[in-house]
Amino acid sequence: MPILNIDRKYYGGRMTLFLFVTSYASMAVAGLLVELAFVAVGLVPRKRVAEIVEPSISFNDATVLRPHMQPHKTTPARTASVRAPPERHRPS
């Protein structure tokens, strides 16, 4: 972590280790306190309803029928208009 590297250069290794351990412990305790607060208020669901779905690739009718997934067919007129910047009128 960059901040620890800066601290090490300024304070030394021993103080940097102390700062790392102190900050890690305070973050862990804060996380546990937040979890306990959520449990006390009743915001943690008792029943887990998450469904784990394995990612997979499938080819079906939707693969063919989705026009936005097809590559664009460019015509010569279209590519020329895309490449050429619009001409601007300069005030005289």
Q: CA–CA separation, 37 vs 39, rounded Å?
A: 5
pLDDT above 70: residue 88 = no
Residue 62 domain-assigned?
no
When the pLDDT of each residue in the chain is averaged and rounded to a whole number, the result is: 79
Total domains in the chain come to 1
**Both tokens assigned to 10:** 């300024």
At residue 39 the predicted structure's pLDDT band, cuts being 50, 70 and 90, is very high
User: 4 and 15 in contact (C-beta within 8 Å)?
Assistant: no
Residue 29 domain-assigned?
yes
Query: Domain span at residue 17?
Result: 2-41
Residue 65 domain-assigned?
no
Q: CA–CA separation, 27 vs 30, rounded Å?
A: 5
Residue 32 domain-assigned?
yes
What average pLDDT does this structure show over 43-59? 82
- Quick: pLDDT tens for 8-28: 888 888 988 999 999 999 999
What average pLDDT does this structure show over 59-67? 70
Of residues 68 and 84, more confidently modeled: 68
